[in-house]
Amino acid sequence: MCPVLQALLSVICTGFRSRLSLQLEVVALRHQLSVYQRSSNRPRIQPGDRALWTWLARHWSGWRDVLIFVQPATVLAWQRRRFCKHWARISQHGSPGRPAIRVEVRELIRKISRANPGWGSPRIVGELAKLGIEVAKSTVEKYRIRPNTSPSPTWRAFLKHHLTECVSMDFFTVPTIHFKVLFVLVVLSHHRRQVIHCNVTENPTAQWTGQQMVEAFPWESPPKYLLRDRDAIYGEAFRRRVASLGLEQVLSAPRSPWQNPYVERVIGTLRRECFDHVIVVNASHARRILTDYLHYYHRWRTHLSLAMDSPDSRPVQPPDRGAVVEFSEVDGLHHHYERVAA
């Protein structure tokens, strides 16, 4: 459309507009003209310009039609920025945050939490409230002393306290020179990692396994708990034998050998340190090797879980006992060392 025609149409339209609207349009156009006059390349916006157009956008609905030097979204962004700065000035009056906690209250929180490691923050808040001290739970969380260890007994502590009441059992296999498979039964006492019974057979049955449990505890009362897996070999005959001994069976989850770790670790030791280095002829040969190794295992082999002691509590020999002498064990497979006087 021709610019002249546009100008004529705008003049005609002004006759139908209110005087206030015309005055606001004049102010807006004159202001933009002054902005361009004081700028060389691009408009240089000052805080007063932003305040004027923010006011126009709030009180005049036609401000977008005459806006040229910036986008309408820019004016709206100016208003949001002014809103944030306004409330930031209001919120900065006075000291920010909560009132400071007195030093005496902080030290009391630390003292209570140190003396009562099992107390949580809500209980400390309640105790302070009974003393006339009102504090928030977050304040107690900030100043309390947290213990390095768990306030409740851990699973490790639970097992340690019940080691004397637990035994575990499991089978492992050993191949022979004649391509047969022998089954080795191990019954382990958790307290001192002692193998209290072991035996070898070619055909394990529930009756045979139950009889081995009777032989494991011939004269003394057995522990309270027996840990085992869910192998089908532990049939009805085995369960009756174990129940007659007063043992309570604790079954691990299916395919979860990690739930019976002590006997699994001992079986791994028997494989790595004994049967992986010999060729087994038959069951009698396996029993002899197993007996020799367990003699070494109980009397001489040190264990990390026993503070580097052996299951049969090996005494410390001072240097004045004599020179160190090497002794062969398990047909030279292992050795132990003692001090012998000259």
User: Both 139 and 37 in a single domain?
Assistant: no
Domain range for 308: 159-329
Burial 149-168 (b: 16+ CB within 10 A, else e): eeeeeeeeeeeeeebeebbb
Based on the number of CB atoms within 10 Å of its own CB, is 100 exposed (0-12), middle (13-18) or buried (19 or more)?
Answer: exposed
User: Both 251 and 274 in a single domain?
Assistant: yes
User: Both 305 and 181 in a single domain?
Assistant: yes
Q: What is the pLDDT of residue 2?
A: 55
Q: Show contacts of 25-34: CB within 8 Å, 24+ apart.
A: 25/62, 25/66, 27/56, 28/53, 28/56, 28/63, 28/66, 28/67, 29/66, 32/66, 32/67, 32/68, 32/69
Q: What is the pLDDT of residue 311?
A: 94
Start-to-end C-alpha separation, the chain: 124
User: Both 167 and 258 in a single domain?
Assistant: yes
Could you tell me which of 216, 277, 275 has the C-alpha nearest to residue 247? Answer: 216
Residue 166: what residue type?
C
Question: Is 326:335 a contact under the CB 8 Å cutoff?
Answer: yes
> Is 251 domain-assigned?
yes
Q: Taking the chain (342 residues) in consecutive chunks of 10 residues, what is each chunk's mean pLDDT?
A: 50 57 71 71 74 72 71 77 78 68 90 85 88 89 79 66 89 95 96 94 95 88 90 94 92 90 95 94 96 95 89 90 90 90 78
Residues facing 251 on adjacent strands:
228
Question: Is 240:210 a contact under the CB 8 Å cutoff?
Answer: yes
Could you tell me which of 339, 311, 313, 309 has the C-alpha nearest to residue 327? Answer: 339
User: Both 52 and 121 in a single domain?
Assistant: no
Among residues 76, 111, 143, which one ends one of the domains? 143
User: Both 270 and 169 in a single domain?
Assistant: yes
User: Both 122 and 73 in a single domain?
Assistant: no
Q: What is the pLDDT of residue 200?
A: 97
Q: What is the pLDDT of residue 329?
A: 92
User: Both 42 and 71 in a single domain?
Assistant: yes
User: Both 228 and 324 in a single domain?
Assistant: yes
DSSP-derived pairing of the beta strands 323-329 and 334-340: antiparallel
Here the CATH number for the domain that contains residue 264 is 3.30.420.10
User: Both 174 and 278 in a single domain?
Assistant: yes
User: Both 251 and 190 in a single domain?
Assistant: yes
Question: Is 307:326 a contact under the CB 8 Å cutoff?
Answer: no
Q: What is the pLDDT of residue 312?
A: 93
> Is 97 domain-assigned?
no
> Is 335 domain-assigned?
no
Could you tell me which of 61, 57, 78, 51 has the C-alpha nearest to residue 21? Answer: 61
Q: What is the pLDDT of residue 180?
A: 94
> Is 341 domain-assigned?
no
pTM of the model: 0.57
> What is the tally of structural domains in the chain?
3
CA 94, 98, 102, 103 torsion: positive or negative?
negative
CA 176, 178, 181, 183 torsion: positive or negative?
negative
Q: What is the pLDDT of residue 130?
A: 84
SS3 string, the chain, reads: CCHHHHHHHHHHHHCCCCHHHHHHHHHHHHHHHHHHHCCCCCCCCCHHHHHHHHHHHHHCCCHHHHCCCCCHHHHHHHHHHHHHHHHHHHHCCCCCCCCCCCHHHHHHHHHHHHHCCCCCHHHHHHHHHHCCCCCCHHHHHHHCCCCCCCCCCCHHHHHHHCHHHEEEEEEEEEEECCCCEEEEEEEEECCCCEEEEEEEECCCCHHHHHHHHHHHCCCCCCCCEEEECCCCCCCHHHHHHHHHCCCEEEECCCCCHHHCHHHHHHHHHHHHHCHHHCCECCHHHHHHHHHHHHHHHHHCCCEHHHCCECCCCCCCCCHHHCEEEEEEECCCCEEEEEEECC
Token output for 185:
């039964």
Q: What is the pLDDT of residue 7?
A: 45
User: Both 107 and 206 in a single domain?
Assistant: no
